[in-house]
Amino acid sequence: MHRFTYFIAVLASFTFQIAPLLNAQHEKLGDAATSKTLHAFFEAEWDYQMEQNPTQASSLGDRRWNDRWRDDSLDAIRKRHEHTRDALVRFNKIDRAKLSSADQLNYDLFKKDLEEDIEEFKFQMYLLPINQRDGLQTADEQTERLRFETVKDYEDWIARLRAFPTAMEQGIALMREGVKAKIVWPKIVLERVPAQIDKQIVANPEESPFYKPFKNFHRDIPLADRDRLSKAAHEAITSAIIPSFQKLKTFFGNEYLKVAPAPVGVWQMPQGAELYAFLTRRFTTTKLTPQEIHDKGLSEVKRLRAEMEAIMGKVGFKGTLQEFFTKLRTDPQFFYKTPEELLDAYRAISKRIDPNLVKVLKTLPRMPYGVTPIPDKIAPDTTTAYYSRPAADGSRAGQYYVNLYKPETRPKWEMMALSLHEAVPGHHLQIALAQELGEIPKFRRFGFYTAFSEGWGLYSESLGEDMGLYDDPYSKFGQLTYEMWRAVRLVVDTGMHQMKWDRQRAINFFLENAPKSENDIVNEIDRYISMPGQALAYKIGELKIKELRERARQVLGDKFDIREFHDAVLLSGAVPLDILERNIDAWIAEKKASKT
């Protein structure tokens, strides 16, 4: 079901260019030896991080550690922390003043990442290895990110299968430590996990999702090897995978769930208030407090309700906004009947978006993307869609995953905004462009600042207006619904984690202000419960990009070109919002001074 079945071909017709970092003509020249030392440090740390996180390396196409899982023993976790602390000491010895302007930015970003990693360690978030969206019970999804082209690729996967019991023992040990420290996710989200574990406990090893690569061998695998590899995988799943999940099932049901707290919110964890303030800062890349973000959310909800009511009047609906929401959630005209129809419609929307990109973008990535279903195993417990980035080596395109579970809960009016966000001009375009940038270190090329990347994704939804894609009131209402969804996040995330709201209050606030289906809303609220602070980044980032666009438009007047503005936003890669503002102000000044 996950197999890549569809690629967007139209992107290949465009002329591509990858711009250098902005304002290169004003670049401060640095000392060559210091720059060499800096970049050698970046490269060494990148290799260390890849070795320590082998599944991440695999997902980026780095196959050096394809035969192993990350060592998540407490000893290894503490050693990684000590390495980070030592790295910061060594890094501080590099003379920033001798670096070029571009390398000073690289220096500042890398140092900030080190400092925040060190600060986060004290909160012991590593004692939370499983939630309803991620963890050992989803480890088989690694097969979607791997290449299976050589005998060694298959043998590496078999080695991982055989090593899985150690990974499971380490995960269970972390959860036991979490119980002692009172660092456990709330019961309401953990109650979703046992059904996911059950799907891994199969009677026939060939039904295991871990066996998937052996069902269709790559054409270059000799027939003589296929039987041997299949038998080895069969044996490894029988002896290692299934018993591991049986052990997890027993632990989860008999020990872990019983001690999970009923209330939601990280306020109840040790250092909970400090933890949430830290996560707020890290995810938004701002100094905004949870209270300031909560208030901003309430203001945005009020503004968007007024715009929704205006559209309700435009389509001639005579009832209340809540009654209009009910119509949008329940009227059969707004839904496809089968998963197949829904998938076809998503693919048709992508084909419609692609030719319109040139209206708002000057630079496009070379890498294509595909539209593919979310795996059945996790579809009931996850959100409407998500994006998976391309492999760094170009061996795997980006993937826009769409949820086909219960098509009667997936309204047509949300599909355009969703596709603009997750694929193009949203996540795929931004991430693929960043990976194709030339002279920036890997930690930036493949890095991820949520406020930038998700802020761009949400901002991209509004570009449907510039591209002429919201050509009926209902699809425009869908865009407002998605913007409202992110505004609601500011209120409910801070509400639950800072102000001690209960889960139902958060669900009710969402239902009152957006017509998304109740199934989606419940999944969203549960996501915020187990990803505190992350959901704040979207709206905060989008508001900053819109603020900067309006600033540029007012200052430049006739010189303002939306396509050039988007280059200025995207072609330095993902950066914190204060750096983005600095980049745009420099671009505005440069454009203002130019004669053309």
pLDDT tens-digit map of 220-232: 999 999 999 999 9
**Cβ neighbourhood burial of 321 (10 Å; 0-12, 13-18, 19+):** middle
In sequence order, the 6+-apart residues with CB closer than 8 A to the CB of 558 are: none
* pLDDT tens digits, 413-446: 999 999 999 999 999 999 999 989 877 899 998 8
In this prediction, residue 27 carries a pLDDT of 58
What phi and psi values does residue 221 have, to the nearest 5 degrees? Answer: -80, 120
* d(C-alpha 250, C-alpha 459), whole Å: 45
CA neighbours closer than 13 Å in the CB half-sphere of residue 485: 26
3-state secondary structure of 22: coil
Give the Cα separation of 290 and 275 in Å (integer).
11
Residues 6 or more apart in contact with residue 305 via CB below 8 angstroms: 321, 484, 513
- Residue 398, beta-bridge partner list: 369
| Amino acid, res. 284 | T
Which pLDDT belongs to residue 274? 98
Tell me what pLDDT residue 16 has. Answer: 33
Q: Are 470 and 416 in contact (CB under 8 A)?
A: yes
Q: Can you give the pLDDT at residue 19?
A: 38
CB atoms within 10 A of CB 488: 30
Q: How big, in percent rounded to 5, are the helix, strand and coil portions of the chain? A: 65, 0, 30
User: What DSSP state is assigned to residue 241?
Assistant: I
pLDDT of the residue at 12 = 31
Which of 104, 102, 136, 380 shows the shortest CA–CA distance to 252?
A: 136
pLDDT in tens, 535-589: 999 999 999 999 999 999 999 999 999 999 999 999 989 999 999 999 999 999 9
Helix (H, G, I), strand (E, B) or coil at 364: coil
* Rounded CA separation 320/574 (Å): 42
| C-beta of residue 383 within 8 angstroms of C-beta of residue 520 | yes
Which residues, given as ranges, of the chain have pLDDT below 50?
1-26
